[in-house]
Structure 1
Amino acid sequence: MTPFKEVQPQPDDAQRALIFFDFGCPVCAEYHERLVAWGTGLPRTWRAEFVPVTLPSKESAVGARAFFAVAAADPAKLSAFMAAAYRRVHQGGMRRSEPAMWRAAVADAGVRGFDAAWASVSQRQLEEAMAKLLAYGINATPSIAIGGRFVITPDNTNGDASLFFQLANGMVSKAMSY
């Protein structure tokens, strides 16, 4: 058995690592800083993109909308916002369906222009995130879709974080060979 899943090639993502996450996922919270650091170390022609798991539920949709609003309003603060949201949910016990939770995370991260960006998040953005989720068959978070061909999760390494990031590097190399 291989430690990854191969999927129908997604040519638009050939030089991307899509990091699927959910703010309610404790493993996503635990891996966040390492995922950010890993993404910055990708080959020069590649880029890492976080993709919120977007399901037809209020918690999922509100979290995804907040993510897209921060990404549009103040992209340099996106990682800080995500870390603040994880803290608010996992340490502060705040509910992801509550707008106050997202406003608090935005304030914690010092995001500017959030309200205008929130109003401009389109249904299409949420639908595109959901389409990516379905195209890659994401069923656990965090998951990384690599090069539009492969998907890995920490489950593939029995939760061994170091081995997971080694696997991620190897899968990038494998994807580059196509």
Structure 2
Amino acid sequence: MNRREFSKQTAALAGLGLATGLAPWQSAQAQTPVEGTNFVKLSQRAPVSAPAGKVEVVEFFWYGCPHCFHFEPSLAAWAAKLPPDVVFRRVPVAFRENPFAAHQRLYFAIEALGLIPQLHAKVFHAIHEEQLKLDKPELIGDWVAKQGVDKAKFLAMYNSFALQTKSSQARSLMDAYKIDGVPAIGVAGRYFTSVSLNGTPDKALATTDYLIGLARKAG
């Protein structure tokens, strides 16, 4: 989903080409990804936070994006099987203030509280299946409380200076990778790929595997 499409979020999800039931990424059509078609090599390297000797993979996403919602199951299964030299992390984007900023803070708050395994997929489900807005601190706090999380503790983290810093860092990384749509994947500060460049989630992940291999060779 690119920036222009975000204002059309109510469009039907049918025909997006991201439905479940796709072949596993390992079974994606065997062909070498093409630079300029399936991925982009950055002209200037983006910063990475992974330690030396590790390959950093970053998923840029937005909770309100239907493409990201449909990509998440394939991505989660892929991320669970990554080798030890690959460091995976998610970065929520904020193309404008709301609802992007609220969703960005929601992710960073549950991440800081160690609640990603319990709540990340549930946030997607709440927004896309239950049609909850979750676009204001009080609404988000009430929803989190229903998940068994202390609301006051959550909101303290949601409104903290630490999260302001995280949001600023996310914007900088987004700009460095020149992100204009999600879901998108950055690899090692060198490469960028996305579902839209590859046609399906599985092909995007196959391209990501290829880029990880390139990053290893580059050192």
Q: TM class by shorter-chain length?
A: 0.7 to 0.9
Q: Which amino acid aligns with 1:173?
A: G
Shift of 1:28: 0.6
Residues 1:3 and 2:38 are matched in the alignment? yes
- Counterpart CA distance in 1 for 2:209 and 2:147 is 29
Find the structure with the greater CA-based Rg. 2
- Counterpart CA distance in 1 for 2:165 and 2:193 is 26
Q: Secondary structure at the match of 1:122?
A: helix
Across the two proteins, how many residue pairs are aligned to each other?
A: 175
User: 1:139 aligns to what?
Assistant: 180
- Counterpart CA distance in 1 for 2:143 and 2:213 is 36
**Deviation string for 1:3-22 (max 9, x for gaps)?**
10111223535621010000
- Counterpart CA distance in 2 for 1:131 and 1:155 is 22
Shift of 1:89: 1.2
Compared with structure 1, are the counterparts of its residues 137 and 11 closer, same or farther at alpha carbon in structure 2 (3 Å cutoff)? Answer: closer
Q: Which amino acid aligns with 1:22?
A: W
- Counterpart CA distance in 1 for 2:186 and 2:49 is 9
Q: Secondary structure at the match of 1:58?
A: coil
Q: Which amino acid aligns with 1:91?
A: E
RMSD: 2.1
Residues 177 and 192 in structure 2, CA contact (< 8 A), matched pair in contact too? yes
User: 2:87 aligns to what?
Assistant: 47
Q: TM-score, normalised by structure 1?
A: 0.87
Identity of aligned residues (%): 25
- Counterpart CA distance in 2 for 1:126 and 1:171 is 27
Q: Which amino acid aligns with 2:176?
A: A
Residues 1:24 and 2:59 are matched in the alignment? no
Shift of 1:100: 4.7
Q: Secondary structure at the match of 2:192?
A: strand
Q: Secondary structure at the match of 2:48?
A: helix
Shift of 1:36: 2.1
**Deviation string for 1:73-131 (max 9, x for gaps)?**
1x2x2143221111111112222423354235534654454233223243221111011
Residues 142 and 154 in structure 1, CA contact (< 8 A), matched pair in contact too? yes
- Counterpart CA distance in 1 for 2:142 and 2:118 is 12
Residues 1:116 and 2:156 are matched in the alignment? yes
Q: Secondary structure at the match of 1:145?
A: strand
**Which residue of 179, 203, 207 maps to 1:163?**
203
Compared with structure 1, are the counterparts of its residues 135 and 106 closer, same or farther at alpha carbon in structure 2 (3 Å cutoff)? Answer: same
Higher deviation after alignment, 116-125 or 58-67: 116-125
Compared with structure 1, are the counterparts of its residues 109 and 163 closer, same or farther at alpha carbon in structure 2 (3 Å cutoff)? Answer: farther
Gaps of 5+ in 1: none
Residues 150 and 171 in structure 1, CA contact (< 8 A), matched pair in contact too? yes
Map 1:16-95 → 2, pairs under 5 A: 16-73=56-113, 75=114, 77-95=115-133
Q: Which amino acid aligns with 1:62?
A: A
